[in-house]
A and B are shown apart, each in its own frame.
Chain A
Amino acid sequence: MSHDLFLFLTTFLASGVEAVEALTIVLALGVVRGWRAPLIGVGIAALVLGVIVAVLGPALRLLPIDTLRLFVGALLLIFGLQWLRKAILRASGYTALHDEGAAFAAEREQASETRRAAPTKMDWYSFTVAFKGVLLEGLEVVFIVVTFGATEGRIPLAAAAALAAIALVVVVGMAVRAPLERVPENTIKFAVGLLLTSFGVFWGGEGAGVSWPGSDLAILAILAFLALLSFAFVRQLRRQRLAGLPVGASA
């Protein structure tokens, strides 16, 4: 039950932030150059992503469970640590926070400057940018849906969480016709990084033959440990950025 909740939460949050980023790209194209070509690009990218989930998910389930957990655990750990590392650098001020408003403005400017096709012809620029944007943002969602879903045998639940988040973002985005700047993307990415890394530690450990004290409850302890560790890094990095020193120099 708690695994289902974490699975839903992680997939929902990760899909939500990726959908916000993809929406910004599509909105900028649609507003400046018209909606037909970007929407075709979105549709085809969604189809490709759906096929990847449909093929990869069942294929992963063919692996023995310990091998699957070791493989997925290692991938999630590496992938989750990327998210966590970036989130810590952003939260401590070493990297600029992701700004959806600025991304929208840049994308809009680029879309305005690029030559347009005749109204009757396909706008390949819009199609390509929308397709690529949705595919790249969507691949991260697919990665999480497939790894989480396959390991827990709950790909439909993971896919439902992702679709719910995407639907929510699209509905709100279309209603306001503007990038969703108020979504606390940086905070959500921090939370997703923590969840991905926690599950990576747990499943990777299980796959390697580790017996976790407290069994499934260990995941909560891992999450708490990683949260405390990350906040400590943020605090230390903030202090050292202000002092102009590299991390660990005062330790």
Chain B
Amino acid sequence: MNNVRAFGAFWWNFIVGDDWRVALGVCVGLGIAGFLADRGIAAWWVLPVTVALVLTISLRRATRGVS
């Protein structure tokens, strides 16, 4: 069981990394882009905006209290 957990932890760390909010933000952004595109609404701007928001939040958390 410990090996399975370690294997899962390795891949989680490999793909998701230090901040799981980045992965969550990407999934939400892709969902919104798909939702809009499916209804014929221009959605090309969604992912660049998602990246900007996700980076802002993640960097802000990473640098909070660090100088």
Residues on A facing B (Cβ under 8 Å):
70, 73-75, 77-79, 81-82, 84-85, 88-89, 94, 139, 197, 200-201, 204-205, 207-213, 218, 222, 225-226, 229-230, 233, 237, 240-241, 244-248
Contact = CB atoms under 8 A, between A and B. Distances in A.
Interface string B36-67: 01100011101110011011101110111111
B64 A78 contact: no
Q: Which of A82, A88, A244 neighbours the largest number of chain B CB atoms within 10 Å of its CB?
A: A82
A208 B51 contact: no
A240 B43 CA distance: 33
Contact of A73 (B15, B17, B30, B63): B30
Contacts of B16: 78
A84 B22 CA distance: 11
A230 B52 CA distance: 9
21 contacts: A70-B30, A77-B47, A79-B15, A81-B22, A81-B26, A82-B22, A84-B55, A85-B19, A85-B55, A201-B47, A204-B33, A204-B47, A209-B38, A210-B33, A211-B37, A226-B48, A226-B51, A241-B63, A244-B67, A245-B67, A246-B63
Contacts, number: 113
B34 interface: yes
A81 B15 CA distance: 10
Interface in B1-51: 14-19, 22-23, 26-27, 30-31, 33-34, 37-38, 42-44, 46-48, 51
Nearest to B42: A211
B51 A246 contact: no
A225 B64 contact: no
A85 B63 contact: no
Given A82-B18, A247-B56, A77 B44 contact: no
B15 to A, nearest CB: 6
Given A208-B43, A210-B47, A85 B58 contact: yes
A84 B16 CA distance: 13
Nearest to A79: B15
Q: Please give me the 8 A-B residue pairs with the lowest Cβ-Cβ distance, nearest first.
A: A209-B37, A208-B34, A82-B17, A244-B67, A208-B33, A201-B47, A246-B64, A77-B26
Nearest to A225: B48
Contact of A209 (B14, B22, B34, B62): B34
A139 B55 contact: no
A19 to B, nearest CB: 18
A240 B63 contact: yes
B30 A85 contact: no
B22 A210 contact: no
Contacts of A89: 59, 62-63
Given A222-B48, A246-B63, A246-B66, 11 more contacts: A74-B30, A77-B47, A81-B58, A84-B55, A85-B62, A89-B63, A205-B47, A208-B33, A237-B59, A245-B67, A246-B60
